[in-house]
Amino acid sequence: MTTTPVPTERVGFIGLGTMGGAMARNLVRAGFDVTVWNRTPGRDTDVVALGAHGASTPREVAERSDVVVLCVTDTPQVREVLDAPDGLASGLRPGSLIVDCSTISPLATQEFAAQLGEVGVHWIDAPVSGGSEGAERATLSIMVGGDDADVARAQPVLAAMGSTITHVGGVGAGQWTKAVNQVILAGSYLAVAEGVTLGLNAGLDMTKVVGALSGGAAGSWILSNRAQRMIDNEYPLGFKISLHRKDLGIALALADHAHTSLPLARMAAAFEDELIAQGYGDEDNSALARVVRGDVVVPGDA
């Protein structure tokens, strides 16, 4: 038998949505002393029932924690949690460590890290992928940017939430990597949607065809796990189109910053805008196939 060392760092957690709530519960289960806060009240019931302490402000989270995990929607929400009255910044001490699991801009990430670095607070960015299922099962992939010592310090916290943890570079590199992930996803969904639509319009038994192609060069996670939704033309979650569109917005701004042309990602963003406008924003990302199938028409699209 091996014995699991008792976690010694006190962990704060801010943002108890579908992802964050599950991740915070896994931290409690792993034995950490956890203090939580969520902007919308009442979301902390489950994690408090497991033994977490419910704080009334981000400042209180900071005061009761050594490491604070963030899992909020976007860059403005991170800024608000940090800088609002009774925000995190007012309670953090030199030596505190922020682990930002939100998906936000890597450029803003570097600003936040620099701002807090002036008062001795450390920062790593650690956006995740793997969806709500990965969050529940603690099997998330976590893309980490930060200094070696900070990443090593966060390792027990990250290991309680995910199973594949890759330190890709300095502060911001995790967010850049997440942007690359979302760009590849955009084109991959469209690629599979085009193949599925062509096959359906030809009258092929597409379930059989997908089976035939999955083991070859056209094989992908999306072909194996999302093509059937496109065949059925039903798109249960999954990962919401509206969230992928938010992430693509970050990625496309980065592409401009890096003087990179991303025609597929731009096409996916335009398709997603139309899907959201027509009320499909809460469907799974595979609903991009609605546009390729011609059921949702994007104005100006050829």
Q: Max alpha carbon distance in the chain (Å)?
A: 65
Q: Is 197 in the site for its own copies (CB under 8 A)?
A: yes
Contact 68, 38 (CB under 8 A): no
Token output for 188: 């991959």
Q: Is 254 in the site for its own copies (CB under 8 A)?
A: yes
User: Among residues 125, 154, 188, 229, which is the contact residue for its own copies, using CB under 8 A?
Assistant: 188
Active-site annotation holds for 246:
no
Interactions with its own copies, residue window 34-93 (CB under 8 A): none
* Closest to 161 measured CA to CA, from 8, 15, 25, 17: 25
User: Among residues 262, 269, 288, 289, which is the contact residue for its own copies, using CB under 8 A?
Assistant: 262
Which secondary structure element, helix H or strand E, spans residue 43, and what is its range? none
**Closer residue to its own copies (CB): 36 or 265:** 265
User: Among residues 50, 84, 264, 296, which is the contact residue for its own copies, using CB under 8 A?
Assistant: 264
**Closer residue to its own copies (CB): 123 or 271:** 271
- Report how far apart, in Å, the C-alpha atoms of 107 and of each of 103, 171, 172, 248 are: 12, 10, 7, 15
What span, in angstroms and rounded, lies between the C-alpha atoms of 10 and 27? 10
* Closest to 230 measured CA to CA, from 301, 285, 302: 285
**Closer residue to its own copies (CB): 35 or 177:** 177
Q: Is 124 helix (H, G, I), strand (E, B) or coil?
A: strand
Just list the catalytic residues: 178
- Residues near its own copies, by CB under 8 A: 106, 129-131, 141, 143, 164, 166, 168-169, 173, 176-177, 179-181, 183-188, 190-192, 194-199, 201-202, 204-205, 208-209, 211-213, 215-223, 225, 239, 251, 254-255, 258-265, 267, 292, 294, 301-302
